[in-house]
C-alpha cells in the first residue's frame, strides 16, 4: 500500500500543467486520434493551463502589497488559515489514500460505459477533495471506537460515493457551464465548487433576485462599458480598479501604477489563456463524443470534467474577485464571534466568483452580493469547523500546530459541515 501511495503521489506531484498533456494525449489516442494530433492537443491544453496559472500568479503577486496591508489588521484573530495544502497533506496521510485515485478512475469509466454519467473527470489532482472528506469521516469513526480496518474500509467507500456524487453534479452543471462560459464539451468537476459553492450561489441568487430595487438591476460589464464610454473599456476600467485597491490601502504612487497595470494585464490575458486551452480541448471532446456515439449510441454525449480555473477567464468573475477583497476583509470584522481572518483565501477568490457569476449570468452587482453571502457562509462554517480542522490536521502528523487552532480555507464542503455536526452531536470533537 505504501508503494502504491508513493507511485500515486509521484504521478500527481508532477503537477496539473505536466499531467494534463499526458492524460489528454492518452485520451486522444483512446478516442482514435492520430498520435501527433493527440500530442499537440495535449500540449495546447497544458500550455493554456500553465498560462492560466502564470496569469493568476501575476495577479496574486500584484496584490501582495494590498493583502499584506490587510494581513497586519488581522493579528487579533485566533484561527489560522493553513491553506488547502495542509488539508491535502493531511488527507494523503489516511491509510486508504493510495487506492482512491486509481479506483476512482476505474469507477468513472465504468459509470460512463453504464450510461450512469456523461462526465469523464480528468481533474484527478483535485481528487484530494473526496479524500479529505473521507479522511475526516475515517478520523471520526476511529474516535468513535471503530477499528482502523473497518474505519478505513468505510472511508474508502465514502470516497467512492463522493466520486459518484461529483460526476452527477458535473453532469447537472454542464449545460449552464457551457452556455455561460462558452466552453463546449466541458464541465466543472472540482468538488468544492460544484457541491458547495454552486448550491450556495444558487440560493444566494434566488435571494438577491427577490429583493425589490435590486432584482431588476442589470449591472453587467457591458452596461458599465456603455455608461462610461472609453473609461469603461475592460483594460482601462480594470487599471483604475487596481489603482483604487492600492489607494484605499494607502500604498505609494508607484504601487498604484504597478497594481493597476498588473490587474489590467490579468483581466485581459486570462480569457486568452482559456481560449488557448480550449483550442486543444475541443478536438478531443469532439473525438470523445464520436467514440461514445459509436459504442454507446447517439444519445450518449461526454463532458470532459475540468478544474474550475477555466471559469476564471470570465471578466465579470475576475472583476468581482477584486471588488470582493475589501468586502471580504470587512465581513471578517462584522460577523459576530468570527475568529477566522480570510487573508489566505484572497488568491483564490476568482475561483469562487466564477461560479457565482455563472449563476447570476454575468450581472456584476448580483455577483458581488451573492459572493458576499457566500463569504458569510464560508467564514461561519470555518469558525464552526475549527475544532474539527485542528484535530484532523494535528492528528495526521503532517503539520505541527503548536497548540494553535487551524483550518484550511477549503474546509467548508457541505459533507465536512455534516461531519462536523455529527462529531459535535456525538461528542467526538
Rounded mean pLDDT of 51-56? Answer: 88
pLDDT digits (tens, 9 = 90+) for 235-251: 888 899 999 999 999 99
Does residue 80 sit within a domain?
no
- Cell triple for residue 386? 475549527
pLDDT digits (tens, 9 = 90+) for 71-88: 877 767 888 887 777 888
The number of domains in the chain is: 1
Give me the pLDDT at residue 232, please. Answer: 67
- DSSP of 306-328, one letter per residue? E-GGGGGG-HHHHHHHHHHHHHH
Question: Residue 229 pLDDT > 70, yes or no?
Answer: no
Rounded mean pLDDT of 104-119? Answer: 92
Does residue 280 sit within a domain?
yes
Q: What percent of the chain has pLDDT over 90?
A: 49
Does residue 79 sit within a domain?
no
Q: What percent of the chain has pLDDT over 70?
A: 93
Q: How confident is the model at residue 28 (pLDDT cuts 50, 70, 90)?
A: confident
Question: What is the model's pTM?
Answer: 0.90
- CB of 413 within 8 A of CB of 191? yes
Question: Residue 187 pLDDT > 90, yes or no?
Answer: yes
Give me the pLDDT at residue 87, please. Answer: 82
Question: Residue 15 pLDDT > 80, yes or no?
Answer: no
Nearest Cα neighbor of 305 from 200, 193, 416 is: 193
Lowest mean pLDDT, pick from 21-30, 235-244, 372-381: 21-30
Task: Report the alpha-carbon distance of residue 270 to residue 192 in Å, rounded.
Answer: 22
Rounded mean pLDDT of 55-61? Answer: 90
pLDDT digits (tens, 9 = 90+) for 322-334: 999 999 999 999 9
Give me the pLDDT at residue 166, please. Answer: 97
Burial 116-149 (b: 16+ CB within 10 A, else e): ebbbbbbbbbbbbbbbbbbbbbbbbbbbeeeeee
Rounded mean pLDDT of 359-381? Answer: 95
Rounded mean pLDDT of 353-377? Answer: 96
Does residue 230 sit within a domain?
yes
Question: Residue 19 pLDDT > 80, yes or no?
Answer: no
Query: Residue written as cell 458599465?
Result: 224
191-200, 392-401, 410-419, range with greatest mean pLDDT: 191-200
Q: How confident is the model at residue 31 (pLDDT cuts 50, 70, 90)?
A: confident
Per the structure, the complete domain to which residue 108 belongs is given by 2-73+100-425
- CB of 371 within 8 A of CB of 356? yes
Does residue 9 sit within a domain?
yes
- CB of 201 within 8 A of CB of 356? yes
Question: Residue 347 pLDDT > 80, yes or no?
Answer: no
Question: Residue 5 pLDDT > 60, yes or no?
Answer: no
Nearest Cα neighbor of 190 from 87, 287, 308 is: 308
Q: How confident is the model at residue 9 (pLDDT cuts 50, 70, 90)?
A: low
Task: Report the alpha-carbon distance of residue 415 to residue 418 in Å, rounded.
Answer: 5
Number of H helices, E strands in the chain: 18, 5
The phi and psi torsions of 402 (rounded to 5 degrees) equal 55, 40
Does residue 352 sit within a domain?
yes
The phi and psi torsions of 199 (rounded to 5 degrees) equal -60, -40
- Cell triple for residue 295? 459504442
Does residue 366 sit within a domain?
yes
**Cβ atoms within 10 Å, residue 374:** 22
Q: To the nearest 10°, report the CA torsion of 49, 52, 54, 58.
A: -170
Nearest Cα neighbor of 89 from 195, 13, 4 is: 13
CA atoms within a 13 Å half-sphere pointing along the CA-CB vector of 59: 30
Question: Residue 344 pLDDT > 80, yes or no?
Answer: no
Does residue 86 sit within a domain?
no
Mean of the per-residue pLDDT values for the chain? 87
Amino acid at each position: 500500500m505504501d508503494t502504491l501511495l508513493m507511485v500515486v503521489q509521484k504521478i500527481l506531484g508532477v503537477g496539473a500543467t505536466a499531467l494534463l498533456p499526458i492524460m489528454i494525449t492518452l485520451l486522444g489516442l483512446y478516442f482514435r486520434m492520430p498520435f501527433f494530433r493527440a500530442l499537440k492537443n495535449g500540449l495546447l491544453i497544458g500550455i493554456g493551463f500553465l498560462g492560466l496559472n502564470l496569469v493568476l500568479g501575476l495577479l496574486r503577486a500584484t496584490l501582495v502589497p494590498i493583502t499584506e496591508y490587510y494581513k497586519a489588521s488581522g493579528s487579533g484573530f485566533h484561527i489560522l488559515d493553513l491553506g488547502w495544502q495542509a488539508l491535502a497533506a493531511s488527507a494523503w496521510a489516511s491509510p486508504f489514500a493510495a487506492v482512491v485515485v486509481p479506483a476512482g478512475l476505474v469507477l468513472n469509466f465504468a459509470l460512463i460505459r453504464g450510461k450512469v454519467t456523461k462526465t469523464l473527470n480528468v481533474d484527478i489532482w483535485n481528487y484530494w477533495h473526496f479524500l479529505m472528506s473521507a479522511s475526516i469521516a475515517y478520523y471520526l469513526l476511529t474516535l468513535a471506537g471503530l477499528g482502523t480496518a473497518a474505519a478505513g474500509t468505510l472511508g474508502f467507500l465514502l470516497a467512492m460515493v463522493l466520486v459518484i456524487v461529483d460526476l452527477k453534479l458535473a453532469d447537472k452543471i454542464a449545460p449552464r457551464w457551457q452556455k455561460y462560459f462558452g466552453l463546449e464539451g466541458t464541465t466543472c468537476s472540482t468538488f468544492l465548487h460544484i457541491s458547495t459553492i454552486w448550491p450556495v450561489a444558487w440560493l444566494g441568487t434566488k435571494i438577491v433576485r427577490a429583493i425589490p430595487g435590486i432584482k431588476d438591476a442589470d449591472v453587467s460589464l457591458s452596461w458599465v462599458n456603455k455608461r462610461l464610454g472609453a473609461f469603461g473599456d475592460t483594460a482601462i476600467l480594470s487599471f483604475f480598479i487596481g489603482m483604487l485597491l492600492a489607494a484605499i490601502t494607502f500604498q505609494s504612487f508607484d504601487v498604484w501604477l504597478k497594481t493597476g497595470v498588473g490587474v489590467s494585464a490579468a483581466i485581459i490575458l486570462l480569457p486568452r489563456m482559456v481560449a488557448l486551452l480550449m483550442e486543444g480541448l475541443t478536438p478531443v471532446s469532439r473525438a470523445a463524443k464520436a467514440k461514445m456515439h459509436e459504442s454507446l449510441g447517439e444519445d450518449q454525449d461526454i463532458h470532459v470534467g475540468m478544474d474550475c480555473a477555466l471559469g476564471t477567464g470570465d471578466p465579470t468573475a475576475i472583476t468581482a474577485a477584486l471588488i470582493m477583497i475589501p468586502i471580504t476583509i470587512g465581513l471578517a470584522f462584522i460577523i459576530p464571534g468570527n475568529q477566522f481572518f480570510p487573508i489566505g483565501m484572497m488568491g483564490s477568490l476568482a475561483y469562487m466568483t466564477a461560479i457565482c457569476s455563472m449563476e447570476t449570468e454575468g450581472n456584476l452587482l448580483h455577483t458581488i452580493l451573492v459572493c458576499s453571502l457566500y463569504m458569510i457562509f464560508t467564514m461561519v462554517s470555518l469558525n464552526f469547523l475549527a475544532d474539527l480542522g485542528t484535530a484532523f490536521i494535528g492528528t495526521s502528523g503532517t503539520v505541527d500546530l503548536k497548540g494553535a487552532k487551524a483550518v484550511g480555507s477549503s474546509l467548508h464542503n457541505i459533507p465536512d459541515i455534516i461531519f462536523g455536526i455529527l462529531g459535535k452531536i456525538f461528542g467526538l470533537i
